[in-house]
Amino acid sequence: MNRILSKRAAELKPSATLAISAKEKELKSQGVDVIGFGAGEPDFPTPSRIREAAKRSLDKGETFYTPVGGTLELRKAIVHRFAEDYGLMYKVENIVVSCGAKHSLYNIFQAVVDPGDEIICLAPYWVSYPEMVALAGGRPVTIETSESRGFEPEIESISDRISPATKAIILNYPSNPTGVMYSRKFLEKLADLIERKDLLVISDEIYDKLLFDDGRYTPFATIPGMKSRTVTVNGVSKTYAMTGFRIGYLAADSMEIVKATTNIQSQSTSNPSSTAQAAAAEALIGPQTEVIEMRNIFERRRDLMVELVNQVPGLSLVTPQGAFYVFVNISYFLGSKGITGSSDFAAYLLENHYVACVPGGPFGSDEHIRLSFATKEDVIIEGMKRIKTACEELNNA
């Protein structure tokens, strides 16, 4: 057999973020003292009320298949959160639960993208969007944003790229990797464009509860006229420190999308884990105090990280308004010691100074690296000390 892999599998790139965590773990297992700024997950343990709910579910014998799109208990809890937090009214029929928000997104792209369809991704974007679109046979159309505008796109730069093949736009705010939170004014202008061009919106709102500076979150579906056009994606991974449970979900007014994504899931994974669903239901329905506590800690870490990055000559950033990453501009160092892009810079940091970060290339900018501040303050201080030394070394090269 001269060609084992399908074209789509052969062309697929592995997740850059997961690859760097693997390398970091490998070095740690060899006893190297690595500072990990690569992680895309909270370092907190899952709150105990949630862990207890998982145990109770097991003890009750809830170990069987559940409905493909999630238990009634969990879907009711999701409906409750949308209503309580944002006044967004969904019925349980509008919710599909999957094995992580990543899986929800995968199902959505499989459900709505035909070969040749164009999906707009705003760069810098989360690494998986273009790959998932391509895997579904679609064409990701990336639109650059500038640091001088805080990574908020200009509406004209989006409208200029809409073609008869454009099907949808994917939004993610606060964003991974930049932490940008779009202004209400921008969201309203975008809604107007979406309406005029008759597009679908996939809004990945996984960091909605990790918003700083007393910011108020605006789900895209709450912008007048947008609920029927929006598929909202969220999950429990980031908000409740539950990355390993693998529970994400979508909410859509369109029953076509609900049915199609459920069918796709029914032919692939079936339902997400019953135990994880019970834990997620408790997470969403119970008291939300830990969410605020974790958010406040992340905000303090953000302040520290931003302050330390700003103390390194040659590095610059746009202060993130949410999520737990800083997207640091390293263009000043390109050309030094044979470093030609973000992967070289990240490799230099890891190999010479034992700091793991994620190169910006796979996020759509080769002039940046992503540092996660989902780690303790003393780790942030030590890691930034090493980065400062590395940058001084490059400056003197």
**Burial class of residue 221 (count of CB atoms within 10 Å of its CB; 0-12, 13-18, 19+):** buried
Name the segment binding ligand PLP (CB under 6 A); options: 99-107, 190-198, 287-295, 366-374: 99-107
Cβ 101 vs Cβ 204: under 8 Å:
yes
Whichever of 318 and 394 has its CB closer to ligand PLP, that residue is 318
Distance CA 376, CA 37 (A): 11
Whichever of 208 and 344 has its CB closer to ligand PLP, that residue is 208
Asked if residue 277 binds ligand PLP (CB under 6 A), the reply is: no
Q: Give, as one character, the DSSP assignment of residue 37.
A: -
Residue carrying structure tokens 């090493």: 386
Asked if residue 206 binds ligand PLP (CB under 6 A), the reply is: yes
Whichever of 39 and 79 has its CB closer to ligand PLP, that residue is 39
Whichever of 122 and 312 has its CB closer to ligand PLP, that residue is 122
Asked if residue 269 binds ligand PLP (CB under 6 A), the reply is: no
Q: Which two tokens stand for residue 292?
A: 């605020």
Nearest residue to ligand PLP by CB is: 100
Q: Which of residues 282-321 bind ligand PLP (CB under 6 A)?
A: none
Name the segment binding ligand PLP (CB under 6 A); options: 60-68, 145-153, 219-227, 235-243: 235-243
DSSP E strands: which ranges in the chain?
Answer: 35-36, 95-98, 118-122, 139-143, 166-172, 200-204, 230-235, 248-252, 316-317, 325-329, 355-356, 358-359, 368-372
SS (H, E, C) 91-156: CHHHEEEECCHHHHHHHHHHHHCCCCCEEEEECCCCCHHHHHHHHCCCEEEEECCCHHHCCCCCHH
Asked if residue 346 binds ligand PLP (CB under 6 A), the reply is: no
Which x/- pattern over 173-202 shows residues binding ligand PLP (rule: CB under 6 A)?
---x--------------------------
Name the segment binding ligand PLP (CB under 6 A); options: 71-79, 96-104, 278-286, 301-309: 96-104
Q: How far apart are the first and last CA of the chain?
A: 50
Whichever of 25 and 386 has its CB closer to ligand PLP, that residue is 25
| Smallest gap from residue 334 Cβ to ligand PLP (A) | 26
Asked if residue 172 binds ligand PLP (CB under 6 A), the reply is: yes
Q: Which whole-number Å values give the CA distances from 340 to 92, 317, 353, in the listed order?
A: 51, 19, 18
| Smallest gap from residue 131 Cβ to ligand PLP (A) | 13
Cβ 302 vs Cβ 374: under 8 Å:
no
Asked if residue 235 binds ligand PLP (CB under 6 A), the reply is: yes
Asked if residue 243 binds ligand PLP (CB under 6 A), the reply is: yes
Which x/- pattern over 32-71 shows residues binding ligand PLP (rule: CB under 6 A)?
--------x-------------------------------
Which x/- pattern over 107-126 shows residues binding ligand PLP (rule: CB under 6 A)?
-------------------x
List the one residue out of 89, 180, 168, 100 whose CA is nearest residue 136: 168
**Cis before 14 (ω within 30):** no
Pick from 50, 97, 101, 318 the residue near ligand PLP by CB under 6 A: 101
The residues that bridge with 212 in the sheet, in sequence order, are none
Q: Using alpha carbons only, how large is the chain's radius of gyration in Å?
A: 21
Count Cα neighbours of 358 within 13 Å in the Cβ-side half-sphere.
Answer: 30
| Smallest gap from residue 172 Cβ to ligand PLP (A) | 5
Asked if residue 237 binds ligand PLP (CB under 6 A), the reply is: yes
Whichever of 82 and 126 has its CB closer to ligand PLP, that residue is 126
Pick from 75, 81, 102, 370 the residue near ligand PLP by CB under 6 A: 102
Distance CA 233, CA 103 (A): 10
Distance CA 379, CA 381 (A): 5
Which x/- pattern over 130-169 shows residues binding ligand PLP (rule: CB under 6 A)?
----------------------------------------
Q: Letter for the amino acid at 286?
A: G
Asked if residue 327 binds ligand PLP (CB under 6 A), the reply is: no
Cβ 98 vs Cβ 250: under 8 Å:
yes
Whichever of 66 and 176 has its CB closer to ligand PLP, that residue is 176
Q: Where do contacts with ligand PLP occur on this chain (CB under 6 A)?
A: 40, 100-102, 126, 172, 176, 204, 206, 235, 237, 243, 248
